[in-house]
Amino acid sequence: MISLKKSIQNSIKLKKKIFSLKKEIDQSISKIYLTLESGNKVLICGNGGSAAEAQHLAAEFLVRLNPKINRKSFPIIALALDTSTITACGNDFGFQKIFSRNLDGIGNPGDLLLCLSTSGNSNNIIQVLKTAKKKKIYSISLLGRGGGKAKKISDHIIIIPSANTALIQEEHLFLGHYMLNEVEKKLLN
């Protein structure tokens, strides 16, 4: 069993590796900012635990990221819309279409798709990235485990250099908060 101290050390070690991704992170911040500044929206999704992270990050921009800053709501919408939509789509079209079906309905050229996937191989993530390409929607993917299939389909990628699901998700949430905080600063200036 891994000790608490070792878990914390592993997390810190991985966070230090994130410095090497600064260029990709800065490009993502700029693209998200330009998307929102031009009046378009960010559509975000993830599979499993990453779906919860996607909804968490969407809430930070729809409601409020920083408790001391009261500002207008910014349009970042999670594609895991609700259980009725997910279960209906899963039943009628298959689980692999739960995000692509929603993106097809509410996504427009000029919008941005933000995907979170620890493996980069989830069928529903691959399908939504293909739909984004067809609809001319720019995609940014936060990935892990080398990026998987999503690496080749995404317009822009940030790959967390780890094979540990928990650590990858931890870094995705950290980066999501960091990037959205930077975007918020730019939008409010």
User: Rounded to whole angstroms, how far apart are CA atoms 89 and 49?
Assistant: 19
Residue 139's beta-bridge partner residues? 113
Average pLDDT over residues 74-99: 93
Confidence band, pLDDT 50/70/90 cuts, at residue 154: very high
Q: Which of 63, 60, 105, 61 is nearest to 81 (CA)?
A: 105
DSSP at 73: -
pLDDT in tens, 96-148: 999 999 999 999 999 999 999 999 999 999 999 999 999 999 999 999 999 99
Instruction: Provide the 3-class DSSP secondary structure of residue 32.
Output: helix
Structure tokens at 133: 């390409």
Give the CATH fold of the 4-188 domain: Rossmann fold (3.40.50)
Average pLDDT over residues 157-172: 96
User: Rounded to whole angstroms, how far apart are CA atoms 113 and 109?
Assistant: 10
Q: Are 129 and 97 in contact (CB under 8 A)?
A: no
pLDDT in tens, 25-66: 999 999 999 999 999 999 999 999 999 999 999 999 999 998
Confidence band, pLDDT 50/70/90 cuts, at residue 82: confident
Report the pLDDT value the prediction gives residue 145, as an integer from 0 to 100.
95
Report the pLDDT value the prediction gives residue 175, as an integer from 0 to 100.
97
- Residue spans of the domains in the chain: they are 4-188
Confidence band, pLDDT 50/70/90 cuts, at residue 81: confident
Confidence band, pLDDT 50/70/90 cuts, at residue 1: low
